[in-house]
Amino acid sequence: MNHASHIITFPDPRSVSMSVRASAVVFADPRSLQLLSLIDRVAPSNANILIIGETGTGKELVARQVHLSSLRAGQPFLAINCGAFSETLFESELFGFEKGAFTGAITSKAGWFEAANGGTLFLDEIGDLPLPMQVKLLRVLQEGEVVRIGARKPVKVDVRLIAATNVDLEKAVAEGRFREDLYYRLKVVSLDLPILRERPRDIIPLARHFIHKYASRLDIAEPGISAQAERALLEYQWPGNIRELENVIHRALLVFHGKQIEAEDLHLLGPQIDRTPRDQPATPADLEDSFTRYLKGLFEEGKEGLFDHIVDHTINTAYEWEHLNQVRTARLLGISRNVLRTHLKRMQLID
């Protein structure tokens, strides 16, 4: 396979346009090509895989690449976010239930393991899985069978499990929040995704991909990127990884003039999260000044619906910060969970 600038996207990219997930991953940088080579080597096996990487680095896309490069290609691939469900709902969705198993169970329903039989099940944010569910998941991995809620007989399943996390699971194990036996059962193979600034040769190919994507959606001629804009993209730290790059390019296509995107069209004025040297901590005044400059950049842009944009960006960032945990996000923002869920549904971050 020729891996030069190899790119993978979702089957329906529009379905993740409002998500915190990366909608594309490029393998052009040497570190990315090394990762792709490792994927090619481990994909044909049935070994469980643990993908480790920050939010927005493309964990689900890497899981899809493993599936497509495996002997299970053509079979189901299901992706589930462990932080998006309550413990009770997660169990019924994961393992299924029989008719009459609980109030509202008017018909029987197969769970995700049964639905993914023969294929691959991707569990994102596995670190958010409650301990009781960790026990039941471990049992499925050990026995190769599931028991629906309300059933007595187990159902055999043949599923390859790929899990992903953006938290330190070893620390979670040490603190008693994650089962050590499940951790090692999941981590037969570990794929570490570098953050975007650590794979700089991916940045410009990704930027060009997003320019093509959004120019087509906006029905405009595809612009070029000036040398100064390319340099700005390469020098930026990208705390939001690929997803932030996509947002920056989308916004640039809405405001640029002429035949190419210039550095000022990128508006890379936001605060650099966790980039200040530890011996020179940012003061509240520094952060407030950075945030003010970011807002002024938006004011200059003259963006329509600016208030809603700021609210959405604030909620999106807080939701990501709390690893997609709704209770903690609501507490962080000082709003009720119902109010938060209303915003998340409007932003299409939850069903």
Q: Are 204 and 214 in contact (CB under 8 A)?
A: no
201 with 244, same domain?
yes
Domain assignment present for 216: yes
Q: What is residue 205's predicted lDDT score, i.e. its pLDDT?
A: 95
- Looking at the chain, the whole-number percentage of residues with pLDDT higher than 90 is 50
Q: How far apart are CA 63 and CA 116, in angstroms?
A: 14
Which residues make beta-bridge pairs with 50? 163, 190
213 with 294, same domain?
yes
Mean pLDDT over 337-342 rounds to 87
pLDDT over 60 (residue 54) = yes
**Last residue of a domain, which of 168, 194, 220?**
194
DSSP letter for 188, please.
Answer: T
Q: What is residue 113's predicted lDDT score, i.e. its pLDDT?
A: 93
For the chain, the average pLDDT equals 85
| Whether the model pTM is above 0.85 | no
Q: Are 224 and 260 in contact (CB under 8 A)?
A: yes
**Last residue of a domain, which of 194, 215, 234?**
194
Mean pLDDT over 336-345 rounds to 87
Domain assignment present for 213: yes
190 with 205, same domain?
no
Mean pLDDT over 246-250 rounds to 92
Q: How confident is the model at residue 249 (pLDDT cuts 50, 70, 90)?
A: very high
pLDDT over 60 (residue 303) = yes
Torsion of CA 52, 53, 54, 55, to 10 degrees: -90
Q: How confident is the model at residue 204 (pLDDT cuts 50, 70, 90)?
A: very high
Q: How far apart are CA 268 and CA 318, in angstroms?
A: 20
151 with 255, same domain?
no
Structure tokens at 307: 């208030």
Q: Are 120 and 76 in contact (CB under 8 A)?
A: yes
266 with 333, same domain?
yes
User: Assign residue 39 a region: left if phi > 0, alpha if psi is -120 to 50, beta otherwise?
Assistant: alpha
Domain assignment present for 280: yes
182 with 208, same domain?
no
Q: How far is CA 162 from CA 185, 260, 336, in A?
A: 11, 41, 33
220 with 335, same domain?
yes
Q: How far apart are the first and last CA of the chain?
A: 38
User: What kind and span of H or E run contains 318?
Assistant: helix 306-321
212 with 163, same domain?
no
pLDDT over 60 (residue 342) = yes
100 with 118, same domain?
yes
Q: What is the CATH number of the domain that holds 49?
A: 3.40.50.300
Name the H helices within 79-226.
Answer: 87-95, 112-115, 131-143, 169-174, 180-186, 203-218
Lowest mean pLDDT among 169-178, 181-190, 292-301: 292-301
201 with 178, same domain?
no
Domain assignment present for 190: yes
Which structural domain range is residue 54 located in? 43-194
Tally of domains in the chain: 2
Mean pLDDT over 43-67 rounds to 94
Mean pLDDT over 199-219 rounds to 94
Domain assignment present for 273: yes
Lowest mean pLDDT among 181-185, 248-252, 311-315: 311-315
pLDDT over 70 (residue 275) = no
Burial of residue 103, with CB atoms counted within 10 A of its CB: 0-12 exposed, 13-18 middle, 19 or more buried: exposed
- Looking at the chain, the whole-number percentage of residues with pLDDT higher than 70 is 87
335 with 245, same domain?
yes
Residue closest to 65 by CA, chosen among 83, 84, 82, 41:
41
Q: How confident is the model at residue 22 (pLDDT cuts 50, 70, 90)?
A: confident
Q: Are 54 and 241 in contact (CB under 8 A)?
A: yes
Q: Are 208 and 252 in contact (CB under 8 A)?
A: no
Domain assignment present for 8: no
**How far is residue 6 CA from its own chain's centroid?**
19
Over residues 116-136, the pLDDT tens digits come to: 999 999 999 999 888 988 999
Structure tokens at 333: 């923002």
pLDDT over 90 (residue 152) = no
Which residues make beta-bridge pairs with 256? none
In the chain, the amino acid numbered 325 is: N
Q: What is residue 298's predicted lDDT score, i.e. its pLDDT?
A: 72
Q: How confident is the model at residue 18 (pLDDT cuts 50, 70, 90)?
A: very low
Between these two residues, 307 and 285, which has the higher pLDDT value? 307
Q: What is the CATH number of the domain that holds 254?
A: 1.10.8.60
Residue closest to 202 by CA, chosen among 329, 33, 345, 339:
33
Between these two residues, 18 and 143, which has the higher pLDDT value? 143
Domain assignment present for 20: no
Q: How far is CA 262 from CA 213, 253, 256, in A?
A: 18, 10, 7
In the chain, the amino acid numbered 155 is: V
In the chain, the amino acid numbered 226 is: S
82 with 111, same domain?
yes
Q: What is residue 93's predicted lDDT score, i.e. its pLDDT?
A: 86
Q: What is residue 299's predicted lDDT score, i.e. its pLDDT?
A: 77
Which residues make beta-bridge pairs with 145? 156
Mean pLDDT over 78-97 rounds to 83
Domain assignment present for 13: no
Lowest mean pLDDT among 58-62, 66-70, 149-153, 261-265: 149-153
pLDDT over 70 (residue 16) = no
In the chain, the amino acid numbered 254 is: L
Structure tokens at 73: 């290609």
**Last residue of a domain, which of 194, 210, 243?**
194
